Amino acid sequence: MALFGTDGVRGLANGSLTADLALTLAQATAVVLGQGRSAEARRVAGKHATAVVARDPRVSGEFLAAAVSAGLAASGVDVLDAGVVPTPAAAFLVGSTDADFGVMVSASHNPAPDNGIKIFAHGGVKLPDLVERRIEAAMSGPKLLPTGADVGRIRRFADAEDRYVLHLLKSLPHRLDGIHLVLDCANGAASGVSPETFTDAGARVTVIGADPDGININDGVGSTHLASLADEVVRLGADVGIAHDGDADRCLAVDAAGNIVDGDQIMAILAVAMKERGALAGNTLVATVMSNLGLHRAMAEHGIIVERTAVGDRYVLERMNEGGFSLGGEQSGHVIMREFATTGDGLLTGLHLLAEMARTGKSLAELASVMTVFPQVLVNVRGVDRAQVAHPAVTAAVAAAEQQLGETGRVLLRASGTEPLVRVMVEASDADAASRVAGQLADVVRQHLALPA
């Protein structure tokens, strides 16, 4: 079974994801990523490879990040310990320090008992599948560990957060003065840096979900639990709400009436704005197969091409890099603004969304009206063999559903890359039709892919 999933290595901390595994993975990463770029030149100069290591505030991150740092230092890699910062901050810091690679210990939007390890190559980009497979192979290979002065050092990255904040503020096309923002930090990695950044950008900020204790990350707050944010926006009469997930690579929003504005709508707003000022490369937006049909319709109306990729922001970024495109992302709120970031960045996305509100003087609801969201029903079917998602009976049922919906809807079945389930997604112009078709397809999946009792 492959170790890496859609977004790094993830599992129950101290269950499937142990300190031993983290240390071994770090050593293998040092072998694969620490020996390539200018390795001979460093050896001649007596310098070590360098890696940035960061984490979110969940309690298990303390021992897992320590294990990662130990594995890297024992392999002759100097570690810059950035502490608790968002995932996009870690990616940015890898690039800004010219480090050889970086490691982020986080399980993103998962609950506190889970954790994960995300690896960034030189420049702060996520790893292609081929490199992940090389790292997996190296985990069982020989480890030629250095001794004496050749071992790595672990040093505190004292100005990591300040560098990231300055980078974000420099990216802004417009200040946020006059906007009252309710900010939900998911009791996660952005709890310190995000309120500071939005305040420095000029917004009046009310903060919720910014009291991490190691076990309350994503617990009833953040981008996967938007009810509290919506209630607070309406109660305070605020202009907008922004929600991050645990590692702040996502951004979802809430308008003044408490209505959710998802990643597709945010991308639509940013794409139109970027096209107007000539900043949307190739007049193209890169989105995944999960993006709403309404996004495609709206972009077509504005002369913007939408290219689809597999689910996962690394696949979005790969296509953006291949085509030289400047904007892409996912419905879940991973949005990549390639001019400023190499991965989804919830703070960057939120800042630029609010900057468009400030620039135009329009409410978020007015901006979001650029796109009509088609009713979308997502059913997670558990207890099935996700490897058999292409079963003939399932494929035939999908084809029949697509014929039934015609051009007014869409069907997508996919095996989850992070959980043991099959996702059934149906869009239609009518909510009842979407729900009915999704239920029928879910039943077919359960019938033909059920695991033995």
What strands, in cross-sheet order, belong to the sheet with 327-329?
Answer: 305-309, 284-288, 327-329, 335-337
Cross-strand partners of 180: 204
Any residues with CB less than 8 A from the CB of 423 and at least 6 apart, and which?
378, 379, 380, 381, 412, 413, 414, 415, 416
What are the binding residues? 108, 245, 247, 249
Q: Is 402 exposed, middle or buried (0-12, 13-18, 19+ CB in 10 A)?
A: middle
CA distance 296 to 307: 9
Instruction: Give the dihedral sign, CA 306/283/317/266.
Output: negative
Tell me the C-alpha to C-alpha distance, in Å, between residue 164 and each of 190, 242, 398, 441. 12, 19, 45, 45
Secondary structure of 336-388 in HEC code, one letter for each residue? EECCCCCCCCHHHHHHHHHHHHHHHCCCHHHHHCCCCCCCEEEEEEECECHHH
Q: What residues are designated binding site for Mg(2+)?
A: 108, 245, 247, 249
How many C-beta atoms surround the C-beta of residue 187 within 10 A? 27
122 exposure class (CB count in 10 Å sphere: 0-12, 13-18, 19+): middle
Choosing from 108, 194, 291, 332, the catalytic residue is 108
Give residue 407's region: left, alpha or beta (phi > 0; psi -120 to 50).
alpha
Backbone angles phi, psi at 183, to 5 degrees: -115, 120
CB distance 138 to 28 below 8 Å: yes
108 is catalytic: yes
Q: What angle do CA 321, 322, 327 make, to 5 degrees?
A: 45
Q: Residues 6 or more apart from 126 whose CB is under 8 A from it? A: 118, 119, 120, 313, 314, 317, 342, 343
Catalytic residues: 108
